[in-house]
Chain A
Amino acid sequence: MNGLEADAPGAILLIPLAAALVFALLPGYRLTARLNVLASLLTLAAAASLFWARPTPGPYLLVDDFNIYLIVLNTFVGFTTSAFSASYIDHEVEIGRLTPAYLRFYHAMFQGMMFAMNLALLSNNIGLMWVGVEAATLSTVLMVGIYRTPEALEAAWKYFILGSVGIALAMFGTILIYFAAQSVMGEGLQAMAWTSLVDRASEFDAPLLNLAFVFLLIGYGTKVGLAPLHAWLPDAHAEGPTPISAVLSGLLLNVALYAVLRFKMLLAANAGALAPGPLMITMGLSSLLFAAIMLYRRRDIKRLFAYSSIEHMGIITFAFGMGGPLANFAALLHMTMHSLSKSAIFYSVGHIAQIKGTQRLDEMGGLSVTHPVLALGFTIGVLAIAGMPPFGIFMSEFLVVSSTFSRQPWLALPLVIGLLIALGALVLRLQGIVFGEPKGGIAPAKASYLPLFGHLALVAAAGIYLPGPLVAWFQHVAKLLG
């Protein structure tokens, strides 16, 4: 390995970490906001370089077929969110919701959160991954509470308590996995490394592995936002700054799900262990149905899309639970598409809420008259997330449904019902916001539309044409997942 190759994973971790420290010291938020974009771009470049030169797995860090695309997705959405955030926070300072001192803290935490998520994705060690997820939780807790309103504090406290309990259970699961591995592989780091755990998983004690997985599924499942452990998610999305909602939905949920999937691979490698499928199918379906019904009762625009995130994580978990090459393929595609479209929606929601001066759905309307461009972006985003053709989510949902029909027709029924209920709710709300009499503020939006339409273009392109190498690569990973 020459210098450059070896340094790419290091750079993905060190750039955000160094940026977080620098931002904590730099006064003046305008400069910091630009540097934030620059740091995120550099991280993205480092992540993209992994495609050309992939380092060999070390004892702590690992880049393999599975996590490479999540790392690139993570840094990409991180970069676009930092661009969105730069135009978003200007307005927040103007109306006095945030002071420059808080923005210093905000930018430092933004990079700190990116560091923690990249660490969780890159780690080759189950303990290090746990640390990454926990650090990401703590930094987002601080961000959720940053507005200091009673609601924001309640949301942050709820998130902190539920997130910590989830994290504690996941830690116990992690200890149990090490306990199972240690009796086969001996003490030391290799009994915590993914690369060696997967090879020897067939020799582990199956009941111990089962118990560990239950803890890990509940623990990390809390972070994924699976019902009935989702209570923190809508509050945290609604009360924090919108860039954080975008990152929470688009990235953090994926990172937690990635952790669950890694452990699922261990179980799949052990013949005696329980099949994780039915557990994940149940949790996924109940999240989907629950969130789809709850969508109708939302009065807050950010809560609405937070429930939509629960719904989509439910679909993804369901598809991974079904397993097999086709369902896994669909789930991987859905994960990517959901990240891109949901963060795009939150970019537009952020601007809408700023213009209207409220997050309440009944106080906004007629967006197509007052802000046609924003309305267009928002409409495309909502149609994409609702699963309309020709967008990527339509394709992935279609694949999930058709693979379920061919294998477990009865499970397809609740799945399709859930999808339709959610579709109805989203279209209903979309009409209220975009059409009708103009309500709320009509000040022109000082927004950067590039992140929004960039994401939407990618989602639309993926729905129409997926490049061959990408398909081949998704298929390969789907096979790895079993």
Chain B
Amino acid sequence: MPVMHGLAFDVAHLFAGGMLLVSFVLLYQRRMFAVLNSFALHAIVLALAVAWQAFVQDAPHLYITAAIALLFKGIIIPLALHRIVVKLEIHREVETVIGVGSTMLGGIGLVALSILVVLPITASSAAFAREDLALALSIVLLGLLMMITRRNAITQVVGFMSIENGLILAATGVKGMPLVVEISVAFSILIAFVVFGVFFFRIRERFDTLDIHYLGTFRGGQG
């Protein structure tokens, strides 16, 4: 990125930072629909970030990744989850394990941690790639935090998909990484297939709820 270095750098940062912000938004949502809408926004910002990388790195195949992120994760999955939530009548409040305040503080701590870990180690690398990695690691860790603090199956899946978004951001930010982008997109499709096709309907069949807290009560006899 010779001529446009400054601009390329700033716009990429804007998108990556935007994703991080939406990750925080995901952390404190209490309503199921709000979680899904925030996730759609997360995926859309990812699509923009990847498209910008495709433009800056002159790597047209990344546009495919961006398009898939936009269509699949930004539109289809949130809509499908939306339908499931309506159909199963679970659009109530999401149970959280820890309060919003402490979750946010924990999230800030994780971001600080990933910056402190990644930046000193990659001091010799290209500035953009290293800061991009630090932001991506923060998004991954926030996704983990979301999976830990939510007891609901759908929000856990959303947390996992936000981790995937962070990984795709990292993979596209590192210049010229072969194969993996396409493959990881194919896998998010597979994961979605697994989740929709199997888990939701089976869990529905057995428990009449998607709150995995109830699953914990069936642990009898495992010893």
Interface residues of A (CB under 8 A from B): 125, 127-128, 130-131, 134-135, 138, 141-142, 145, 148, 150-151, 153-154, 156-157, 160-161, 164-165, 168-169, 171-172, 174-176, 178-179, 182-183, 187-189, 192, 205, 207-208, 210-211, 234-235, 238, 297-300, 303, 360
Contact = CB atoms under 8 A, between A and B. Distances in A.
B167 A153 contact: no
B160 interface: yes
B221 A142 contact: no
22 contacts: A131-B187, A138-B190, A142-B194, A148-B205, A150-B215, A150-B218, A151-B218, A153-B206, A154-B215, A157-B153, A169-B140, A172-B137, A175-B174, A179-B125, A179-B174, A187-B175, A188-B178, A208-B122, A297-B223, A298-B223, A299-B221, A299-B223
A168 B194 contact: no
B218 A127 contact: no
A165 B147 contact: yes
Given A127-B183, A157-B199, A161-B156, A188 B176 contact: yes
Contacts of B215: 150, 153-154, 157
A13 to B, nearest CB: 15
A207 B118 CA distance: 10
Contacts of B207: 150
Q: Which of B118, B221, B222 has the most CB of A within 10 A?
A: B222
A344 B184 CA distance: 36
Contacts of B175: 182, 187
Contact of A161 (B140, B147, B202): B147
A360 B221 contact: yes
Q: Which of A151, A172, A207, A298 has the most CB of B within 10 A?
A: A172
Given A127-B178, A182-B174, A168 B222 contact: no
Given A153-B215, A298-B223, A303-B222, A183 B125 contact: yes
A153 B202 contact: yes
A335 B206 CA distance: 39
Q: Which of A135, A154, A175, A207 has the most CB of B within 10 A?
A: A175
Interface string B57-75: 0000000000000000000
B26 to A, nearest CB: 16
A168 B159 CA distance: 12
Contact of B121 (A125, A134, A208): A208
B167 A168 contact: yes
B216 to A, nearest CB: 8
Contacts of B202: 145, 148, 153
Nearest to B187: A134
B77 interface: no
Contacts of B131: none
Contact of B223 (A128, A178, A205, A303): A303
Contact of A300 (B133, B183, B221): B221
Contacts of A189: 178-179
Q: 4 closest pairs, A vs B, by CB?
A: A187-B176, A299-B223, A150-B218, A127-B180
A138 B167 contact: no
Interface in B173-203: 174-180, 183-184, 187, 190-191, 194, 198-199, 202-203
B161 to A, nearest CB: 10
A9 to B, nearest CB: 18
Contacts of B140: 168-169, 172
Nearest to B122: A208
Contacts of B177: 175, 178, 182, 187, 192
